């Protein structure tokens, strides 16, 4: 990262700390005195018609999560693919559907990645996030959403901290393997009608962690190479009350340089590949009530992405291969909600996006894509019954500069969800949902040099879920218990995979997958004595995800690659006046690295343990929060992806000052 950006980052942090004359401490770990509850508001994870996982800011800080991928790793039904180290790509596959079926929204607007279809979760720092929500199927509660959100099989929603009263915090971080970082956050609200916030985050790591390389019975002690990373993020948010509604705007800039850690073996211990990336976007969201029955939501976004990939190898005539890709996208959405009756809610949304990809390939196709989405939704609610449905129409038209483009796509996708509360106490909720979805081939699937196939069909998916949620509330030692259980079936058709042809690999529609599974989660809150709180969260998932393409194939009804049958997690924390302590456990069962489930393709399961300690102080109007994290305390070496070793034991320290 250029030194001028680092200097700008430091200066902005200093200016933010100085310019706020009236500031307050924003501590998320102070224990509130007991009060009598007047009415219990049920959490969305209990009342939603489809499975919903949500982690708030308090939980993020209490458990000491290092990134968005760590938050998701402790959710049931979620499989995080990590290619090793701080700089390794991190993606999420939900219920065996694959990473490209998960859309990511940032403050209500989708993050665009038409080129590869996969959003790297390492792009988003946690220091300014207020909640991480994962909606499986129906896209979350409520009906006033953009049409593009309804098109995804799973929606990962990241929401930043609301622009409350004026405050500033600065945080420094350090840890194993050259890990170092700094962040600042400053918000300013001079009056009730508008507010502004600035957020910056810098992170670097050399990623040279030790590991044991085993090959044909020979063990050597090595250090991971090409896993270094340097990342800089800068963001500005503003809100203003306008015309009876609220306008939220965001400016975002992200820059990274990283080595690409390749697979390791006895003869190849380093990978001479690097990737430079930049992303900048501007977005606006306006929500306004129109009378007692209507609501309006308008979204606009411009997105720019740049990537430069370089591989040094004697296989190339010039000694290296350099690929440059530039993506631009314009996106707009308009949604309206209407309530003709007290218990009936209707909404309509229309979205459009124009995406352009340019690169330095010879005879580049330079694809242009015009996408449109229309959706109509309805939600009907009685005292103990809620029904919601939607119908999505999607159109995708590609144009290319050279050769042929993908045939135009037009598709209808319906969804239905039901929630029933059989008891007046609202203790138990039963839910069922069905959704049809499809994944449109990405630019890389269609047009990548030598690999792309313009004749690809979209992946089609049917998602079915049947579940129950239980919520018990109290105000003594026992505070609350939340329990959810879901059984699901996903069917994926025309799966897009890379298959070898006579000379090169090529993208093709090949395959059908049946995915059966169950998810269980439990959350318990206790207050055994004054100023002491105990919290326990546990998750377990079972997935039977098999290939059903060809009954005569050797891998027929074999488990899909890198999909464990069993996985689970446990998070336990104790909050007290001395030091808050958290324990994290993540467990993943055996998986297979290739479609055939043979002994040679089997990868062993693993357990990962971690501890987090934190304590908050107040000194004359200034807050100080100290945190220590110990990850993989057993020092167990394991691999999420074959030949991509993960770090062993590592530590991190952080200190945050709040004005």
Q: What is the 3-state secondary structure (H, E, C) of 502-516?
A: CCCEEEEECCEEEEE
Tell me how far apart the alpha carbons of residues 305 and 110 are, in angstroms, rounded to a whole number. Answer: 14
Structure confidence at residue 88 (pLDDT): 63
| Range of 35-39, 227-231, 316-320, 392-396 with top mean pLDDT | 392-396
Structure confidence at residue 26 (pLDDT): 37
Residues above pLDDT 70, as percent of the chain: 88
Structure confidence at residue 142 (pLDDT): 57
Q: Which helix (H) or strand (E) holds 545?
A: strand 532-547
Structure confidence at residue 32 (pLDDT): 34
Q: 304: domain CATH number?
A: 2.40.170.20
HSE-up of 129 (CA within 13 Å, CB side)?
Answer: 25
Burial of 635 (0-12, 13-18, 19+ CB in 10 A): exposed
Whether 635 shows a pLDDT value over 70: the answer reads yes
Whether 31 shows a pLDDT value over 50: the answer reads no
Tell me how far apart the alpha carbons of residues 407 and 456 are, in angstroms, rounded to a whole number. Answer: 9
Residue 124 contacts residue 131 (beta carbons within 8 Å): no
> 465 in the Ramachandran plot: left (φ > 0), alpha (ψ -120 to 50) or beta?
beta
Structure confidence at residue 642 (pLDDT): 82
Structure confidence at residue 164 (pLDDT): 83
Number of domains in the chain: 1
44 or 372: which carries more pLDDT confidence? Answer: 372
Structure confidence at residue 62 (pLDDT): 86
Structure confidence at residue 18 (pLDDT): 32
Q: Would you place residue 498 in the very low, low, confident or very high pLDDT band (cuts 50, 70, 90)?
A: low
Structure confidence at residue 280 (pLDDT): 95
Q: How does pLDDT run across 576-605, given as a tens digit for each residue?
A: 999 999 999 999 999 998 888 999 999 999
Q: 153: which 2 tokens?
A: 């099989």
Structure confidence at residue 20 (pLDDT): 36
Residues above pLDDT 90, as percent of the chain: 47
Structure confidence at residue 410 (pLDDT): 94
Q: Would you place residue 84 in the very low, low, confident or very high pLDDT band (cuts 50, 70, 90)?
A: low
Structure confidence at residue 43 (pLDDT): 58
CA distances from 85 to 61, 168, 208, 260 (A): 22, 31, 9, 10
Tell me how far apart the alpha carbons of residues 169 and 180 are, in angstroms, rounded to a whole number. Answer: 18
Q: How does pLDDT run across 263-305, given as a tens digit for each residue?
A: 776 666 666 788 899 999 999 999 999 888 999 999 999 999 9
Structure confidence at residue 85 (pLDDT): 62
Structure confidence at residue 83 (pLDDT): 65
Among 99-113, 175-189, 334-348, the range scoring the smallest mean pLDDT is 99-113
Whether 21 shows a pLDDT value over 60: the answer reads no
Q: Strand 154-160 vs strand 102-106: parallel, antiparallel, or unpaired?
A: parallel
Structure confidence at residue 266 (pLDDT): 62
Q: How does pLDDT run across 118-127, given as a tens digit for each residue?
A: 788 878 888 8
Whether 39 shows a pLDDT value over 70: the answer reads no
Identify the residue whose tokens are 């002690």: 221
243 C-beta neighbours (distance < 10 Å), count: 8
474 C-beta neighbours (distance < 10 Å), count: 14
Structure confidence at residue 268 (pLDDT): 63
Mean pLDDT, the chain, rounded, equals 85
Supply angle C-alpha 567, 94, 258, rounded to 5: 95
Structure confidence at residue 87 (pLDDT): 60
Whether 503 shows a pLDDT value over 60: the answer reads no
Q: How does pLDDT run across 354-388, given as a tens digit for each residue?
A: 999 998 888 888 999 999 999 999 999 988 899 99
Q: How does pLDDT run across 424-448, given as a tens digit for each residue?
A: 888 999 999 999 999 898 888 888 7
Q: How does pLDDT run across 196-251, given as a tens digit for each residue?
A: 999 999 999 988 888 888 776 777 888 888 788 999 999 999 999 988 899 999 99
Mean pLDDT of the 4-32 span: 34
Mean pLDDT of the 253-271 span: 78
Q: How does pLDDT run across 386-403, given as a tens digit for each residue?
A: 999 999 999 999 999 888
Q: Would you place residue 314 in the very low, low, confident or very high pLDDT band (cuts 50, 70, 90)?
A: confident
> If you compute the radius of gyration of the chain from its CA atoms, what whole number of angstroms results?
25
Residue 269 contacts residue 222 (beta carbons within 8 Å): yes
350 or 6: which carries more pLDDT confidence? Answer: 350
Structural domain range at position 522:
3-658
């Amino acid at each position: 990262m250029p030194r001028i950006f680092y200097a700008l980052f430091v200066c902005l942090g200093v200016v933010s700390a100085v310019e706020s004359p009236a500031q307050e401490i924003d501590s998320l770990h102070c224990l509130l005195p007991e009060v009598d509850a007047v009415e219990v508001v049920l959490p969305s994870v209990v009342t939603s018609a489809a499975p919903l996982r949500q982690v708030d800011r308090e939980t993020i800080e209490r458990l000491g999560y290092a990134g968005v991928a760590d938050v998701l790793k402790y959710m049931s039904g979620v499989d995080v693919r990590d290619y090793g180290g701080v700089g390794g790509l991190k993606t999420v596959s939900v219920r065996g559907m694959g990473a490209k079926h998960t859309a990511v929204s940032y403050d209500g607007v989708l993050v665009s990645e038409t080129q590869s279809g996969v959003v790297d979760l390492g792009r988003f720092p946690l220091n300014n996030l207020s909640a991480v929500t994962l909606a499986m199927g129906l896209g979350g509660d409520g009906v006033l959403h953009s049409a593009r959100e309804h098109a995804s099989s799973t929606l990962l929603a990241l929401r930043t901290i609301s622009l409350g009263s004026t405050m500033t915090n600065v945080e420094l971080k350090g840890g194993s393997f050259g890990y170092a970082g700094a962040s600042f956050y400053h918000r300013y609200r001079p009056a009730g009608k508008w507010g502004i916030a600035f957020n910056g985050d810098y992170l670097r790591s050399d990623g040279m962690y030790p590991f044991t390389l085993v090959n044909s019975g020979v063990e050597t002690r090595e250090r991971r190479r090409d896993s270094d990373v340097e990342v800089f993020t800068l963001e500005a948010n503003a809100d203003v009350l306008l015309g009876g509604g609220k306008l939220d705007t965001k400016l975002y800039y992200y820059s990274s340089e990283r080595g690409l850690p390749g697979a390791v073996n006895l003869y190849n211990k380093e990978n001479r590949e690097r990737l430079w990336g930049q992303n900048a976007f501007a977005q606006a969201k306006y929500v306004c009530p129109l009378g007692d029955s209507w609501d309006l939501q308008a979204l606009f976004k411009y997105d720019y992405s740049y990537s430069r990939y370089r591989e040094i190898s004697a296989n190339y005539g010039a000694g290296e291969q350099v690929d440059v890709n530039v993506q631009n996208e314009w996106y707009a959405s308009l949604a309206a909600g209407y309530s003709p009756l007290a218990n009936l809610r209707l909404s309509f949304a229309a979205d459009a996006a124009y995406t352009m990809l340019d690169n330095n390939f010879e005879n580049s196709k330079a694809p242009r894509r015009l996408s449109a989405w229309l959706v109509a939704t309805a939600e009907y609610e009685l005292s103990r019954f809620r029904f919601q449905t939607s119908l999505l129409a999607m159109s995708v038209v590609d144009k290319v500069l050279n050769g042929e483009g993908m045939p135009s796509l037009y598709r209808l996708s319906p969804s239905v969800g039901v929630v029933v509360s059989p008891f007046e106490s609202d203790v138990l909720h039963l839910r069922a949902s069905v959704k049809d979805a499809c994944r449109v081939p990405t630019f890389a699937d269609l047009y990548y040099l030598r690999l792309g196939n313009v004749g690809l069909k979209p992946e089609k998916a049917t998602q079915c879920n049947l579940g129950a949620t239980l919520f018990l509330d109290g105000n003594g030692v026992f505070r609350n218990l939340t329990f959810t259980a879901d059984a699901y079936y996903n069917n994926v058709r025309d799966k897009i995979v890379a298959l070898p042809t006579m000379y090169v690999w090529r993208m093709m529609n090949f395959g059908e997958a049946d995915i059966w599974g169950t998810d269980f989660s439990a959350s318990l809150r206790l207050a055994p004595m004054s100023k002491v709180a105990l919290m326990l969260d546990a998750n377990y998932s079972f997935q039977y995800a098999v290939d059903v393409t060809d009954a005569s194939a050797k891998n027929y009804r074999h488990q899909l690659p890198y999909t464990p049958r069993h996985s689970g997690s446990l998070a336990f924390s104790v909050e007290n006046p001395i030091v808050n302590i958290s324990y994290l456990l993540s467990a993943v069962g055996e998986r297979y690295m290739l479609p055939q489930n043979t002994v040679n393709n089997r990868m062993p399961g693993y357990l990962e343990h971690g501890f987090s300690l934190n304590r908050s102080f107040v000194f004359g109007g200034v807050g100080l929060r100290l945190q220590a994290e110990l990850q993989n305390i057993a020092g167990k070496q394991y691999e999420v992806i074959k030949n991509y070793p993960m770090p062993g034991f590592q530590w991190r320290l952080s200190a945050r000052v709040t004005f």
